[in-house]
Amino acid sequence: EIVLTQSPGTLSLSPGERATLSCRASQSLSGSYLAWYQQNLGQAPRLLIYGASSRATGVPDRFSGSGSGTDFTLTISRLEPEDFAVYYCQQYVTSPRTFGQGTKVEIK
Amino acid sequence: QVHLVQSGAEVKKPGASVKVSCKASGYTFTGQYMHWVRQAPGQGLEWMGWIRPSNGDTNYSQRFQGRVTMTRDTSISTAYMELSRLRSDDTAMYYCARDYRELPQDFWGQGTLVTVSS
């Protein structure tokens, strides 16, 4: 199975700052079948990015995804109060569809 | 408007089974794969498998092979996930989530908390 490793585990930033989250795959993801999800406390995950760089419907353009092969990045250009949450990457190129362990973005 | 509405919380004893339902509305149920994902308290997300509602095909994570069964009833646009031989470490929130064309798991149910305790 493909293992996804996210870093850092926790990111402490202030509103308005830029957040850069990393996701590394144990093998190359052909077709860039990599998604990012946001999860707020007590809520279901929300799809943000699919295909490594395409924003899902309704996702603000301050969220952007990039990368290919084994290295992927989620960038939040200017953090808004509602962006402080946990973020997960997931590969969906092969079964099982594995998730990374998550990065928590917290208020500094 | 898409909705995935899951059944209510369950408390089960070790060794028992639980069956969680996920009722879909607002789209063609048979047109999209349905996935099940779980999350233990304070932990990350774990993918369990999918069902193709149009024909009932399933694909389970090896981790749950032999204990999980995913089914559907197309007449009421509902998917089910049954987990047997429950253990305490199966205590988790269980989510259904659909794919939509090239979008993976773009819509999620509200979650069903399953607690396994003697």
Across the interface, whether the CB atoms of A33 and B45 are under 8 A apart is answered no
Angle at B33 between CA B9 and CA A38, to 5 degrees: 60
Which residue do the tokens 């419907």 mark? A57
- What are A59's strand-pairing partners? none
CB proximity list for A43: less than 8 A, separation 6 or greater: none
User: What confidence tens digit (pLDDT) does each residue in B21-75 have?
Assistant: 999 999 999 999 999 999 999 999 999 999 999 999 999 999 998 999 999 999 9
User: What confidence tens digit (pLDDT) does each residue in B11-27 have?
Assistant: 999 999 999 999 999 99
Which chain B residues are within 8 Å of A50, Cβ to Cβ? 102-104, 106
Q: Which residue of A has its CA nearest to B96?
A: A44
CA distance A76 to A17: 8
